[in-house]
Amino acid sequence: MWETKYEKSSGLTDKKLSYCPGCTHGIIHKLVAEVLVELDILDRAIAIASVGCSVFSYDFFNCDAEQSPHGRACALATGAKRVLPENIVFTYQGDGDLASIGIAETIHAANRGENITVIFINNAIYGMTGGQMAPTSLLGQKTTTSQDGRDQAHHGNPIHISEMFATIEGVAYLERVAAYDPKHVIAAKKAIKKAFQYQMENKGFTMVEVVATCPVNWGLKPVDAMKWSKTAMEPVYPLGVFKDKGAK
């Protein structure tokens, strides 16, 4: 007798993921998909895909989707959510998309308290375009456009999105999580679930920042990339709940 102990979430399509080995996008996709199914909101969800490695996420999440111009995901989400307030609208954006070109759209969506959920993948680099410096790249981090390492005097400091957004009144829930080991993956799922629950309760803008990996562009093996995510990134981007309007 066979008993199904584990299967792919029905929140994902059968499309083969386009992500590199060891990249945490696949894990986070799974978490989002499982949450949409567990909360029974998949059939009223609208995913807003961004530009970057996750550009094809419109083909991976098993729900309706809109593919956004670079950085504009929160504007699309705002436009869609305002006309379809009963639907669940979420964006899935990397650090180049959200923290660089799309920071205005993201800040103002947060400030308006748009009732949307943002899944923000921070891997400290531009993955899709081949490893250029991101606003979240660490000081000293070597990228194809900071070949001697990110220099504070020249490039400025890594931008701390969660710390910045914690100051915005319209934000209802904001947590930074990681995906480098099972314990943290489980915690990440809890955070994502809470964010979507808050959206269902019309609490306001919710965002989960995930400290993620990019083994290929970091030049590290998958296991080493998970370690770097923990040892190099996490000290710069400490995990935790930055805002929770629902907390007692």
Partner 1 sequence: MAKVLMKGNEAIALAAIKGGVDAFYGYPITPQNEVPEYLSKHLLDAGKVFLQAESEVSAINMVYGAAGAGKRVMTSSSSPGIALKQEGLSYLTAAELPCLVVSVMRGGPGLGSIQPSQGDYYQATRGGGNGDYHLIVFAPESIQETIDIIKESFDIADYYRNPVMVLVDGLIGQMMESVDFDRPVKERFLPEKNWATTGTRNHPGRRNVANSLYLDPQALENHNIHLHEKYKIVKKNETRYELINFDNPEYVIVAYGTMARIARSAIEMLKKDGIEVGMIRPISLFPYPELAFDQIPESTKGILTCELSMGQMLDDVLIANNGRKKVGFFGRAGGMLPDPEEIVAAIKNFDERVVK
**Pairing state between β 64-67 and 88-94:** unpaired
Q: Using the rule CB under 8 A, is 210 a contact of partner 1? A: no
- DSSP labels, 167-191: T-TTEEEEEEEE-SSHHHHHHHHHH
| Cβ neighbours of residue 203 closer than 8 Å, sequence gap 6 or more | 115, 172, 173, 245, 246
When the beta carbons of 76 and 211 are compared against partner 1, the nearer one is: 76
When the beta carbons of 29 and 150 are compared against partner 1, the nearer one is: 29
SS3 205: strand
**Residue labelled with tokens 């920071």:** 103
Count of residues engaged in binding partner 1, rule: CB under 8 A: 36
When the beta carbons of 62 and 122 are compared against partner 1, the nearer one is: 62
Tokens of 178: 């990681």
- Residues 82 to 121 in contact with partner 1, rule: CB under 8 A: 82-84, 87-88, 104-105, 107-108
Task: In angstroms, give the least distance from the CB of 112 to partner 1.
Answer: 8
When the beta carbons of 76 and 98 are compared against partner 1, the nearer one is: 76
- Residues 14 to 73 in contact with partner 1, rule: CB under 8 A: 42-46, 48, 55-56, 58-59, 62-69, 72
Q: Are the C-beta atoms of residues 48 and 91 closer than 8 Å to each other?
A: yes
Contact residues toward partner 1 (CB under 8 A) are 13, 42-46, 48, 55-56, 58-59, 62-69, 72, 75-84, 87-88, 104-105, 107-108
